Structure 1
Amino acid sequence: MKYKDYYEILGLERGASQEDVKRSYRKLARKYHPDISKHTDAEDRFKELGEAYDVLKDPEKRAAYDRMGSEWRNGQDFQPPPNWDEGFEFSGAGNEAGSQADFHDLFESIFGGAREARSRRHAFNAQGEDHHAKVLIDLEDAYRGAKRSISLQVPMIDTQGHVTLESRTLDVSIPKGIRAGQHLRLSGQGAPGATPGTAGDLYLEIGFREHPRFRVDGCDVSLELPVTPWEAALGAHIAVPTPDGSVEMTVPPGSGDSRRLRLKGKGIPANPPGDLYVILNIVLPPADNDSAKAAYDAMRQAFNFDPRAHFYG
């Protein structure tokens, strides 16, 4: 994907007001309108201006675009930063009634899809619009359930016409067994309606923070477990950490490096629960003293073993 610098396209600084955006677009759209412009690239420039304006005129799209960073150059290969959308609250206006917004759709509406994106509804609606946000939780919260305070940032236009982010904090109950990609519905926490009882809902898309030890795939969880050569060769009973405390696991004799062992039902406690997969990582002790070197030499003499016996064909 190529980065599109919409501010550069419209000849604006990033701190430009919404009125500046409108004024610059109108000026350049007149200059490059295909019906009157004599520039050979007028049609392409006019489409490019329209795409940039569709994003920057919309406070939500502009705020989301700004969150992706300002260090990119126009035409540069681009990937959005990890979790760029964490805690970003948006209305998802234009979605079909009852559907949930998707952050991929929001991203596509900014880069490459802005011209095709549905226009925002401006008509008054007695029922407040639903809002959406992505939040990251700890894996341990999915195992045990938790009560957490989350902070969200909502795009707003200040009195000077600039797009700003207003923060709000909500107390949320994280249910045990929730998976990444599922949504929590907070009734009445979306946009206000005609009366307090007609406010929209807030849908929180759940993601997991990166964990230093565990990896998640749906309801299944995996980790690498360091073992000694003798534990792998002779078998052993080893305490294995899980997000909900340690459990004892049997390493079968003759286990090789990268062997995958399953602890059934020790993944995320959904319905049905996931499994915990333990990948063995055989770690060699260092030969950093005379006794350790002697032990390695004794092992060399004890085994008639050539790991490259079939390597050369």
Structure 2
Amino acid sequence: MEFKDYYAVLGVERDAAQDEIKRAYRRLARKYHPDVSQEADADARFKELGEAYEVLKDPEKRLAYDRVGQGQRAGEDFSPPPDWDAGFEFRGGGYTQEGYSQEQHAAFSDFFESLFGQRRGPGPGFTGSSGDPGGRRYRARGEDHHAKVSIALEDAYRGAVRTLTLQSGELDEQGRVRPRQRTLKVRIPKGVKQGQRIRLAGQGEPGMGGGPAGDLYLEIEFESHRRYQVEGRDVTLILPVAPWEAALGATIAVPLPEGSVELKVPADSQDGRRLRLKGRGIPGEPPGDCYVALKIVLPPATSDDVKAAYRRLEAVANFNPRAAAEETP
């Protein structure tokens, strides 16, 4: 996937004010509108302009785009880093309209979708008239906000109260985007899954005309962990074992997010064997399981005694690890 330089698309500098971005978009949109333009690539250019403006007109999207695109050049291979948007707060809402139909703005690129494809949502709806007889004033609910937050896997096992800092963008007096932060104390429920959303009522955009505020939805991601992998409520970990533990069997303490548990390793276990600890995954109804994958680790032959032990094993085991592969089909 190629990186898209939205500033170059609109022909503006990276520190351009919002009014300048709007003027550039309107000027170029008139030039390349498929209904009036004679340019051969008018349709493609018009869609590209709409995509660039959709990002740069929005302070939240623009700030996030600037952060993830630091050091990137147009046309370079690009893949968003994992959880690049964790901690960014986005408003809900649809595409820019600017006199054009939503269908004309629907064909955005894979690049856009990889960054903002899940940030779209319905805009706020009117909740009724505020009582003005001319119908000019309305009571409208505020937009919902969305943010992805990273938590420790241990929080899903036990539940927790965490103080989270969210970052979004706002315009300064010159119409340029600057970062804005807010801190919230959030209760992480026991048993929360990756991808699950926590709703904070009234923490979204303020309402209009006395309407209620929107909500804030926090999408849960687990922080990367050197030991655990998560799928749904199931947790998998790699357990290093010595060759004699795998061959002869052993009882080993396995470190889980909720505390250590004793695991019986059956004799004659092979590398990669998966053992199940029922109900030891993320709590729920029903709870997930924990799968322990054995990884046989050989002692390094760094001393004469260990080398001698390996030679004795070679002599008595009469073992060829490639025997099955060498068999004629």
TM-score range, shorter chain: 0.7 to 0.9
Residue 155 of structure 1 and its aligned partner are, at CA, apart by 2.1
Residue 13 of structure 1 and its aligned partner are, at CA, apart by 1.5
Residue 68 of structure 1 and its aligned partner are, at CA, apart by 2.2
Residue 297 (structure 1) aligned to one of 300, 311, 319 = 311
Residue 109 of structure 1 and its aligned partner are, at CA, apart by 9.4
Q: Which residue of 2 aligns with 1:208?
A: 222
Q: Which residue of 2 aligns with 1:198?
A: 212
Alignment of 1:65-214 (within 5 A): 65-94=65-94, 110-111=112-113, 125-194=139-208, 198-214=212-228
| C-alpha distance after superposition, 1:82-123 (max 9, x if no partner) | 11221111221249xxxxxxxxxx997945999xx7896698
| C-alpha distance after superposition, 1:24-46 (max 9, x if no partner) | 22333455456666654444334
Residue 190 of structure 1 and its aligned partner are, at CA, apart by 1.3
Please say if residues 34 and 42 of structure 2, whose CA atoms lie closer than 8 Å, have aligned partners that are also in contact: yes
Change (3 A) 1:110 1:60: farther
Find the residue that maps to 2:51 and give its secondary structure.
Answer: helix
Q: Which residue of 2 aligns with 1:99?
A: none
Alignment of 1:268-287 (within 5 A): 268-287=282-301
Please say if residues 140 and 211 of structure 2, whose CA atoms lie closer than 8 Å, have aligned partners that are also in contact: no
Change (3 A) 1:49 1:199: closer
Q: What letter matches 2:242 in structure 1?
A: T
Please say if residues 193 and 232 of structure 2, whose CA atoms lie closer than 8 Å, have aligned partners that are also in contact: yes
Find the residue that maps to 1:310 and give its secondary structure.
Answer: helix
Q: Which residue of 1 aligns with 2:132?
A: none
Residue 245 of structure 1 and its aligned partner are, at CA, apart by 1.0
Q: Which residue of 1 aligns with 2:131?
A: none
Gapped regions of structure 2 (runs ≥ 5): 96-107, 127-137
Q: Distance in 2 between matches of 1:177 and 1:254?
A: 35
Q: Distance in 2 between matches of 1:41 and 1:222?
A: 51
Q: Which residue of 1 aligns with 2:105?
A: none
Gapped regions of structure 1 (runs ≥ 5): 96-105
> What fraction of aligned residue pairs are identical, expressed as a percent?
59
Q: Which residue of 2 aligns with 1:62?
A: 62
Aligned residues: 301
Please say if residues 87 and 134 of structure 1, whose CA atoms lie closer than 8 Å, have aligned partners that are also in contact: yes
Residue 127 of structure 1 and its aligned partner are, at CA, apart by 2.2
Residue 323 (structure 2) aligned to one of 296, 301, 309 = 309
Q: What letter matches 2:311 in structure 1?
A: D
Residue 277 of structure 1 and its aligned partner are, at CA, apart by 0.6
CA RMSD of aligned residues (A): 2.8
| C-alpha distance after superposition, 1:41-66 (max 9, x if no partner) | 44433432233223222223323322
Change (3 A) 1:122 1:262: closer
| C-alpha distance after superposition, 1:253-275 (max 9, x if no partner) | 11111100001111111111111
Change (3 A) 1:55 1:241: same
Q: Which residue of 2 aligns with 1:235?
A: 249
Change (3 A) 1:248 1:196: farther
Please say if residues 188 and 197 of structure 1, whose CA atoms lie closer than 8 Å, have aligned partners that are also in contact: no
TM-score by length of 2: 0.82
Please say if residues 61 and 110 of structure 1, whose CA atoms lie closer than 8 Å, have aligned partners that are also in contact: no
Q: What letter matches 1:181 in structure 2?
A: G
Please say if residues 65 and 110 of structure 1, whose CA atoms lie closer than 8 Å, have aligned partners that are also in contact: no
Change (3 A) 1:174 1:197: farther
Q: What letter matches 2:27 in structure 1?
A: K
Structure 1's consecutive aligned runs of 4 or more residues displaced over 4 angstroms after TM superposition are 30-40, 106-109, 111-114, 117-125, 194-197
Q: Which residue of 1 aligns with 2:22?
A: 22
Please say if residues 4 and 111 of structure 1, whose CA atoms lie closer than 8 Å, have aligned partners that are also in contact: no
